[in-house]
Structure 1
Amino acid sequence: MTPARAVIAQAGALNIRIAVAESLTGGLLASALVSVPGASRAFSGGIVAYDTELKRSLLGVDAELLERVGPVDGEVARQMARGVRRACAVGGEPAALGISTTGVAGPDPDQHSGQQPGTVWIGVSSPAGERAVQVACAGDRAEIRAQAVVAAVRELEVELGAITGHQVGTAS
């Protein structure tokens, strides 16, 4: 079973809805998830906020933070993940799990911060908490983006485990 298939199966079994906010990956993460048959049981939707202004206006990332650090930052990724949960609410209910990707695919460094290609941040938001994970990717633009998708799916697996533990811990 592929990691994306495992994520969709586990989220569907737990009745957990996933939403994605993508910058660096430009829709590749959403595509990886919806390529799995039955994805509609677990995937609510996503936002490709490639332009920095969309991170603020659609996802609610703090404008001052974006001005100060630019779009390639752990806190930006975390806020993107939190914001997409709200933005992809269904029936007034936010998605249970939000995940985001932001980074530098290259070939040039980030214009705002000077960070080098291969710098990637994955943001995660769920009832179990929020976090950002930095991932070092290598290769050309396509390889960096593909590695970011793999890392994001891996973080979805980790977070589904944390949510399960959180639900069990809450129920006792």
Structure 2
Amino acid sequence: MNLFIISVGNELLSGRTVDTNSNLISKSLAAIGIETTGKLSVPDEKRAIMEAICFARRMADTIIITGGLGPTPDDVTVEAIAEFLGEKLVFHEDILNRMKEHFDSRRLVMPENNIRQAYLPESAIPIPNSIGTAPGLFIKKDSKRIFAIPGFPSEMEAMLKRFIIPELSGTGELPERFELFSTAQIPESQILATLEKKLSRDSLMRIRFYPSYTGVNLYVPKETATIVRELLSDYIVANSEKKLEQVIGEILRARGQSLSVAESCSGGMLASRIVSVPGSSDYFLSGIVSYSNEAKKKLLGVREETLRKFGAVSPETAAEMAEGARKIHNCDFALSTTGIAGPTGGTKEKPVGLVYIGFATKKGVFIRRYFIPSERNIFRLKTTQAALNILWVYLTGRWGHYKFLDGSEEI
């Protein structure tokens, strides 16, 4: 089974909006063995959409169309599909009733132009929209499957997970299944070098690598998953797309332990990632952004002598920041970040990209030095990932034998 994705919207072609939908769809379906053979972005024009469908049918047996299902006159995806298939549009009263309920629950009056969203091609099966008003649709014709779902990311993702993936997974036609491994702080090239020790080239070719600034996700065929798990055991964070902050949160909550952070160069991003996890108030006590030296002294108790002698970007300051954050609430753990995000402010001794991360426990304070020469906000993101990884390594009992492969060093 293979897939072709059509993204509809003038905003995609003008550059005003980035097409993140097609990436998520490709990645999600790759996990169940469905390859994407092509993608097209087309304007909100009926003829362009019909031509795209015609091309896609020659390339794949499953087509997913996103966008153009709204209530305005330029939303013509449904009409284009109906015309391409030579079908009439049929009114669905149940869809209209659900839309009215949607507006009523928000104490709003439904505009008349929303009524057009209740019309679908006569062979279409409606896909309920649990978030917005526009229903999706599913048509199976001449051994081809066509799905049309909203372009709004949250609505698209909900339909993808609740309808499309279950529909395609249940066909019995998938060539193989994959297991997902989320890794952290190990470069893609190092992953490959590690796997080459025991896997053949053919086996490696079937593994899908999805690198990002926070790690590499691997989609591994079931038959080689055990070997991959063994080889990368120290760097696999989860068998899902869970992020470090989620995994850490689960561990802290289960153990009844607590965490605080003190940030300088990451500017609150570390705390933001931690509190993005629902229920983080169970274990996260405080986040202090001590950007200036004065703030470091007043809020965290960093000594004037330390700042004068070693500077704000130093292992000594990172240590006092971490211990200060931990002592405020007598929490179990604290992390600190202090570095030079750039693009200015660096020196020969302390270049842009230098960062010290402090990790305080009730047993002591540990410091690691990193060099992360990146664009400012990427630097901040990578710094928070490195900090969370330190905590994860400690919490999961890897501390004594873990080999850091991110170029950092203990101070």
Normalising by structure 1, we get a TM-score of 0.86
What displacement does 1:130 show? 0.9
User: What is the letter of the counterpart of residue 5 of structure 1?
Assistant: Q
Alignment partner, residue 36 of structure 1? 277
Relative distance call for 1:65 and 1:110 in structure 2 (3 A) is farther
User: What is the letter of the counterpart of residue 308 of structure 2?
Assistant: E
Cα distance in structure 2, aligned partners of 1:9 and 1:98: 17
Larger Rg: 2
Cα distance in structure 2, aligned partners of 1:14 and 1:48: 27
Cα distance in structure 2, aligned partners of 1:54 and 1:160: 30
Alignment partner, residue 81 of structure 1? 322
Alignment equivalent of 1:22, drawn from 263, 281, 287? 263
Alignment partner, residue 252 of structure 2? 11
Alignment partner, residue 310 of structure 2? 69
Q: Determine what percentage of the aligned residue pairs are the same residue.
A: 36
Alignment partner, residue 370 of structure 2? 135
What displacement does 1:42 show? 1.1
Contact 2:322 2:359 in 1 (8 A): yes
Deviations 1:28-84 (A, max 9, x none): 000000001111111011110000111111111121010111100111101100001
Cα distance in structure 1, aligned partners of 2:300 and 2:286: 13
User: What is the letter of the counterpart of residue 55 of structure 1?
Assistant: K
The 5 Å alignment of 1:115-126 reads: 115-126=350-361
Cα distance in structure 2, aligned partners of 1:65 and 1:45: 24
Cα distance in structure 2, aligned partners of 1:158 and 1:128: 16
* 1:158 lines up with 2:393 in the alignment: yes
| Runs of 4+ deviating beyond 4 Å | none
What is the RMSD computed on CA atoms of the aligned residues? 2.0
User: What is the letter of the counterpart of residue 103 of structure 1?
Assistant: G
* 1:95 lines up with 2:331 in the alignment: yes
Deviations 1:93-119 (A, max 9, x none): x111011000000011347x8511110
Alignment equivalent of 1:54, drawn from 295, 320, 339? 295
Q: Give 3-state SS (helix, strand or coil) of 1:58's partner.
A: helix
* Higher strand proportion (structure 1 or 2): 2
Contact 1:108 1:116 in 2 (8 A): no
Cα distance in structure 2, aligned partners of 1:10 and 1:110: 37
Cα distance in structure 1, aligned partners of 2:342 and 2:244: 26
